[in-house]
Structures are given as structure tokens and as C-alpha cells.
Structure 1
């Protein structure tokens, strides 16, 4: 029997679907009794580009882990096909007070954890208190800052029990805010705001979220066969899910494949149904009918460590930016549909509330490829710094794309700025996150994908005490503008927009980062699975309505 499945790709990761029989040889293997599959089972196979870091909802910081968590755990709301937050565990749309400070939701009464425990309002209260507890060290805790008493709790000034999230019995929950938060419903659909089963979590202790045995599901799939560090895991249909009769996929086998050529070879052999294409390989498949280009609300950029005395020199930072030819980078090196960007935010993400102009267009571009000017700036920087040469460490992930980018940027800097030595350090993403959190780098290849549809989601990254400000950039004027956008101007769309535009201008004036590209992926896909929902923000895909065509 020969069955093909359509592939799925996330906004920032490669996911390959392979059929239980992409060719005759694999069909005989995958559908044999020894494999446990039958022709009627809907079993697909993905490959992911990186390992899972954790399945603890409040500790996840990378998109790959978040995407898989989103298949296993649901929150009050989820993002629908139109990009809007809609009820998930919530029984209805909920109510919001006229002043925008109180959100109340009733929970469905038929939602259970995979151990049989009912999902209750207290599960959300417990998870939210854990998120803001300073002892947790959750990077996304700042997203809760407009919830009553959250800032004081995060500062260690109040107890977590005083957080403005309360359970009114088992099936009603209330959030009290200190100021209107236009994007709050999007936060309720984000993984950091998902519930946790208190009894189970406390039983697991430090092991919670570190393997499939230490994770509970309340969503469409359960996580299986993940040991916490391995390169494979499975998603199995959750028969206890409240909408289990609508879930068509039985099993999703996942393996990590970091090399583009390996993925393409598997696709050509009929063993997978999706492969990411980059560089020269894109040109080879330019006319292939299975090629699909998917643009993402995600930017990639170079981050500076401001603790490095050399990188505190603005002429050196500008010089580094001027030697990176982003046109060559996106069209020759990557060639995957990614596009140049001139600033911090992606295009087609948010628009001016009065004029409708895109944020990135209004902000404009601030760096252009100019190696001759870069050399002049480097000479001036050397004089100011009193050095003839410097060495910089450059941290990035170890997947093929990241390594190619790192080598390209290394070459551009070393070939154009005589005396600057760049030492590459490419490590697994899980390790890169830990290393960068510790500030153990000079240059960092990183990026950000939208968690929710608001410019503040990107601008917050450069706030002086943001956990994602790994380079420790600090500018008091920038911080003040971000504070205004969140407080005094929160209800004035035009003033808030101007605050964020001015803050962006400060970033560019300071050469606080080097914009590289807005990410896209060119994929080879087998069009045999229908109903996958792709999202531009938050969890990037939803498999709960996917099904395989005969």
C-alpha cells in the first residue's frame, strides 16, 4: 500500500512529514505488523531542526519547543486561522470590564489532564504564580507585568498569593490588571500562560518538563518517547482530549535533522514529505511543483555584548554592520525566500493606527553595505580604543543554516576589518540559549519570532532589564519611551505608536544591533495532509484538525 502525507513546516523550524510508505520499500517497512502500523492508521513522521529544550510551560524560550508544547497543552484561548484569539479551554469568549482591567472566563467542564485529573481554574492560578515567582527565574515573567501585584512579586516585595489571578470555584477564573493591555487576549493563548497541574508538578519537582514521563497533556496529543536530551520523540493522539473525535492523526514521529542535504535526500527517496531548501539547492528546485515559500513574522539579527569594552565603541559597532552585505546574504547564501530588513521589526506585522503604514516602512533602514566607510570607522575606532587588533567570540546554533551564516559574517568582518579576529562557537540551540543567558559571548547570532501581534513584543527585547536583552544594552531614554507605551500612553494608540517609533530610532542611533533578514523558508512539500493551521504569532502551527488524504 502506498500512502503519502503532506508535510508541515513551522514559521521558524523545519518539520518533515513522511508517509507510512513514501515508496514501495518504505511502505513495506512502515506498514508491516512488526512496526505496529496498519493501513488505516494515520501515522506521519516529522524532522525538526533542533532539540527540545524543555516542556515546562513557564520556562520555554525557544520556538521549536513552544511549537510542540502547543500540540500537547492548551490554554484558555488559542489562535485561529485568522490569527485571532478564540476559546480553547475557555467555554466562551469571556467578559472584559468596561475599563479593560478585569477579564473573567468560565472553563469547559470536560477538560482533563492525561492522568485523569480535571483541568481547573486553580491550574491556571498555580501556573501564573509560578511564572511571576522570582525563584522560578522564568524569562517570560515580564509578560505578566500588567497583572495586579505582578511587578511587586517579581521584585520579591509581595507574596505570589497576592497575584491578581483568582479562581472562583473550579470553573471560573479572573484576571485583574493594573492598566489596559491591548494584547492581553493574545497572552492568554501563549504558552507561558498555559495551566499546570499543581499536584503533578510538585511531585516531579526539578524533573518536571524534562522528559515525556514528566509532562501531562490536556491538548490534542500526548508527548511520548522523549528522554529530555534525545533527537527523537513522538506525539500520540490524546483519547481523553475534549475534542478527540475531531483528531484524525494517530501518531507523529519526530526526529531532529540539521543538515539540508540529508533532508532533501530523504525527500527524494520518498522517506519524508518535506525538506527545507537553502542556497544553491533552492536554485536546483526552482521549478519543482512541490516548492512552497513561507514568510515568517521573524527577524534575525546580530546582537552585541555591551560588557565588551571594544563593542562599547559605536564606530566599531557601525563598522561591523556596514561590512555585512545582506543582499548577498539573503539572495546567494540563503536563497530561501528570506528578505532584507532595515530595522528591528518584520514587515507586514503591525501598522500605524492612523495611516495604516507598516511599522518597518515608517521606521526606515539605517545600515547599508559600505565596506570602505566601515574601514574608515574601524581606523577611527582603533585610535579611540588604543588597539591595533581585537578578538571577538561569535556564538550561534549548530544547525546548517546557522553555521553558514556564522561563517559568512565571520568572513565579512575579518576580510574587511583588518585586525579583527572572529572566533566561531556553534553549539546546539539548547546550549546556545544557556550560554547567551550567561552573557558568555561578544557577538550573538539570534532572532525573534512574534509571540503576539504588537510592536512592543519586539521592542521589549532591548529594555534594560529584559531577560532577552542578552547583550545588556541599556539606554534610559529608550526605557522611558517603552514605559510610556505601557502606561501613560497605553490607551492612546497614536501616542503609543509614536513612543515605539521614537524608541526604535534610539536603537538605530545607538547601532544597538545589526539587522540581517526577515525569515522565510523554501520547502519541498508533498500535498497530502489537509487542515493544518499555520499561525504568524505564538504557537506557529496547529495539527488538531489535520488529516491525511487517501
Structure 2
């Protein structure tokens, strides 16, 4: 998913949600707040919430909210394994791996009391896969029968290979085996929607908390569509009440890491994400916890014809000019690690080699200023560019993104020479518009894995993917991805060979420049328990509690 997911995985990206609880005014973290309540906590996000409609928007802030208020067929357990959600059990496919039949819990209900039905999944998926969907995530349904043709506007969404056999039985038919299909079912993109509520509000569905209902442990309350604070209130109709300990989760937007630290120090937050200078001074703090996520922060380079970075040598020069060790150690200083491949470390082990996929695919050369300068000059000649090259770097307006943007701006100027980079640090919506319109040379973003397979990263860079905002197009890359998801899907050896080919092409073409792996620095109240920090997907606070 992306940092501005629209991305998750795969799903753009913006920074992670952090958990916090109200504490007492004496300034000691971990103590109960003024209400002496241990059944109420607060969540902090570092950027704005834009929508609650998973068919027409997709970014990390929204998915974080949906993760804690909705539930799909499956959820992740505390061991990061797929576990039953609205489906009664994790099912095995039939028909040679192409048919999944899910039996839904008969006691699953929406927060307004409506039954959760198979039709709620069918209608939600049809909205999301449609060529009219604005989420940029309709591609994630690829592999389900007719999904690609629907996304391309050639078939009606009603032709999708998902049908309600009866009120509580959902059948999904695939075009080919998808060994990662069960892992995908935890994604908010596949969450159901109350059909009656969608019909009632139409295009206004999910534009505020009064125009949406939830089937998870909590329901969203108090979000007007523009404000920066809201609540998640316990859903009295959730099927597993014993698993939920909290009555309320308060959520607010806090964009500055220093502000988050100060709130934590005052006992007003129980979990604060810190970055940059703030994080640098806290790395030995007893309350610090590093949360490793299968995500890669990277520069998306605009490969479109007419753009300077359409030239491969210029893109290669940018990558070799960036000292990722300096970036992570001295600029971020939050436990983040250098990234040299688009696919995140720790995402998946290549079963044919027994090695971490990202580690085995790391390029031999990752930082070489002299070679970068040479490639830059060669690329300028090939692209017929003279004088100073003016480039625009777009990023979000939070502190971490600003710091990274300034680093990239300075290091490329110093190591490449005749280049001037203008930075634009924008709110989520404005950044999204820039992305969609291709109004950038560099775009600083994150892809946080939706499921544990490299395909989740690679798919958004395929030729016709709606999230391929950098207009990357490479015949060998596209061929490898097509083979991996069709002819070689059930052949483990051939599948992973395709995955290695895809990463090799990215290493050579550099349509994206990996910067660092996602490692969150959290200041955590030791009394906060039950949070499931998943390396793949969003963090789950629905089982959280505060020790008395």
C-alpha cells in the first residue's frame, strides 16, 4: 500500500498511525487520564483523513482507520497469520486452485444492526473493480474472473467472478491459481460495504462518518470530512465482543514529531511515532520500540516522454548519487535501514534459494558519486539537455518527508552538479492530484506491503496499472509479471524466476529509487498491551488495552 496508497502494497502512502492514550496531568506516561479510564485510548496519525469509501480512495491514513473499524473475510492474528474474520474459517480452494467458497458468520452484523451478507462483499467488490472507481486500487482484483476486462471498461462489474450463493455463502472464481489469494483477503480493498447504506448515500457514501457503517469492532464517529480529530466507538453488534476491551478510541492528526514527543512526555500519548532530530535524541530511551514494517520509501521518477528523467542514465545517476547510509543514520535517525531494492527486506523468502528476496536481489553497486556524475553527463547529452536541469520533487507536508526532500535536494545538487531541484511539500489531497496528473519529476512516497509476496510491489509498476504514475514501461518487466500471474502461477520455480527477473529489470532501469526501509520509532507506554504491530499491512489496535 502506498504512503499515499492512492498505497497499500499494493495499495502509495500518509505515515503510519500511532497509538496513544489519555494520561493524567502529572506528566507520567502510562497513567490513566483525567477520567481514570483504562477503556479509552487515542490514536495519532501524521496526515489527514480524506475518505472512508474504500472503493473510491486508498491511502494509509484511511486504511489505518478501516483496519480498526471494518473486517474482511480474514484478519491477521497475533502471529501475523491469516485467521478467520467474517468468514467462519480459512478455506482451501477447489477446482485446481481457482474456486474459493466462503461461509460467513451468521451473527456478523453492521454497526446499524444490519446483517453482513455475501451480497455486501459482492457489491463492494463490484464498486471497487469498476473502471469508474477512483481508488487506483481496482487492479488488486486482477486474477478474479473478468476483473481486468471490467477495470478496462470492457465488461460490466456485474460480470466479476464473485457471487452470493445465498445470504451467507460467497463464491469467488479465479482465472488462474493465485497462491497469495488468502493473504490478500485481509486488505481493506476487499472489505464489504453495507449495500443498503451505499444505495442510500450514493456518491456521498463515506464522505463523513454519518454516511458509513462498520462491521468491525468499532464504528467511526465525529468525522465531518475535513476535521482532524474523530472517534472510534465500540460496535455493540460485533460478533466477538469478548475479544474487544476498549469502549472508545480517539483519533487525531499530529504531523510534527516533536509535538508527538512532547505530548508523550506530558503523559498525553501512550504511543508516539518520532522521526528526524527528535528520534535521534531518543534512540536509547527506555520507552523506545522499533517496529519493522515491510515497506519501502522511494523516489518515483517520472518516465513519461518529455520529462527529463525519461532517460535511463539520468535515473541511474540519481540512484548512485544518494548515500542511503547517511540518510538513515544522520537525517532520519529513527532506526530506519537503507533500502537498495524496491521490494522491502523481510517481505518474503525466495523458497527456491532459501534467501530473503530483497537481500539476494541487492545490486552490486549502490553508491558511487564518480560514476553518478559520469552517467549524469552522458544522460544529459542523450536527452539533449543543456545548462542547469530544473526538476520538481513532490512530497507530503509532514516533518519526515520534508527532511528527506531537503536531503535529496542537497545531495543531488552536490553530487551531480548542474541540477536545480524545487521541493513542494503538500497536504495529502494536493499531493494526490499532483501524482494523478503527472505534475512532478520526483515523487517521494512509500509502498507498504499488502501481502507477503513481491508481486504486490511489482504489480503497480506494470504498464496499465492505474497507480503507475511514473509511466514506467519495460517489455521484459511486463512479460515477467504476466507469466508470473498466469502461466507460471502454479509453478514455484518458474514463478520465483519471474520475480527475480522483474527486480533485476528495476535495478537496471531505475524507474524507482529505493531510499530506506520502513522502521517506525515508537515511544510506548509499558502499560499499553494487545497491539498487533503487523510487518505486512496495518497495525491492529482492536484488541488493545491498558493495564490497570
TM-score under structure 2 length normalisation = 0.93
Residues 1:57 and 1:14: Cα distance change in structure 2 (over 3 Å) = closer
User: Which of 44, 47, 52 pairs up with 1:50?
Assistant: 47
Contact 2:29 2:525 in 1 (8 A): no
Aligned length: 534
Unmatched runs of 5 consecutive residues or more in structure 1: 1-9, 32-36
Contact 1:350 1:454 in 2 (8 A): yes
1:203 aligns with 2:220: no
Counterpart-to-counterpart distance in 2, 1:27 and 1:360: 38
Residues 1:135 and 1:22: Cα distance change in structure 2 (over 3 Å) = same
* TM alignment of 1:121-520, pairs within 5 A: 121-307=118-304, 308-365=306-363, 367-384=365-382, 385-520=384-519
The residue aligned with 2:26 is 23
Q: After TM superposition, give the deviation of residue 20 of structure 1 in Å.
A: 4.0
Counterpart-to-counterpart distance in 2, 1:545 and 1:367: 44
Q: After TM superposition, give the deviation of residue 246 of structure 1 in Å.
A: 2.9
Counterpart-to-counterpart distance in 2, 1:270 and 1:24: 5
Contact 1:342 1:366 in 2 (8 A): no
1:530 aligns with 2:520: no
**Alignment RMSD (CA, Å):** 2.1
Contact 2:292 2:535 in 1 (8 A): no
Counterpart-to-counterpart distance in 1, 2:319 and 2:353: 31
- Look up the SS of the partner of 1:377 in the other structure: helix
Counterpart-to-counterpart distance in 2, 1:24 and 1:515: 40
Deviates more, 1:374-383 or 1:232-241: 374-383
1:315-354 deviations in Å (ceiling 9; x for gaps): 2212222221111000000111111122111112111212
Q: After TM superposition, give the deviation of residue 23 of structure 1 in Å.
A: 2.3
Larger radius of gyration: 1
1:156-178 deviations in Å (ceiling 9; x for gaps): 22222222111111111100111
Residues 1:309 and 1:434: Cα distance change in structure 2 (over 3 Å) = closer
Q: After TM superposition, give the deviation of residue 283 of structure 1 in Å.
A: 3.9
Q: After TM superposition, give the deviation of residue 434 of structure 1 in Å.
A: 2.7
1:449-507 deviations in Å (ceiling 9; x for gaps): 11011110011121011122110010111101100000111011111100110111111
- Look up the SS of the partner of 1:391 in the other structure: strand
Q: After TM superposition, give the deviation of residue 30 of structure 1 in Å.
A: 5.1
Q: After TM superposition, give the deviation of residue 22 of structure 1 in Å.
A: 5.1
Contact 2:30 2:270 in 1 (8 A): no
- Look up the SS of the partner of 2:68 in the other structure: helix
Counterpart-to-counterpart distance in 2, 1:152 and 1:461: 17
Counterpart-to-counterpart distance in 2, 1:142 and 1:331: 36
Counterpart-to-counterpart distance in 1, 2:244 and 2:495: 42
- Look up the SS of the partner of 1:534 in the other structure: coil
1:544 aligns with 2:547: no
- Look up the SS of the partner of 1:316 in the other structure: helix
